[in-house]
Amino acid sequence: MKHDHSQFATIRTPDALPDVDARILRFKPLVHSAARRVHARVGGAVDVDDLIQAGFVALTESARSHARPTEDGFAAYAKARVEGAMI
């Protein structure tokens, strides 16, 4: 059985990095609001700073792996990844 892996192969050039940085800065408030929501649900079991750190790691990975140019799809993808990493 053969699988087509061409959709998963992404080549990142140095030109793509400023786009990643811009996405991270643009969606920074998403990480902070998600951290507050998750912290409210779990109470004092987890520190907010730890949640924010996990969220930024997930946001960075999302920004690097999402190859589509539209921000609509990325916003939903990033929100799911960030909250999933925090939980």
Give the pLDDT means over successive 10-residue stretches in the chain (87 positions). Answer: 57 59 91 94 89 95 80 85 94
In the prediction, which pLDDT does 60 show? 94
pLDDT at position 66 is 81
The whole-number pLDDT of residue 74 equals: 86
pLDDT of residue 8: 54
Using DSSP's 3-state secondary structure scheme, residue 64 falls into: helix
Counting every residue, how long is the chain?
87
pTM of the model: 0.74
**Beta-carbon count within 10 A of 83 CB:** 19
Secondary structure of the chain: what % helix, strand, coil (to 5)? Answer: 75, 0, 25
Closest CA to 71 of 34, 32, 25: 25
What is the C-alpha separation between 64 and 56, in angstroms, rounded? 12
pLDDT value at residue 17: 57
Q: What is the pLDDT of residue 20?
A: 84
Which of 23, 46, 31 lies closest to 79 in space, CA to CA? 31
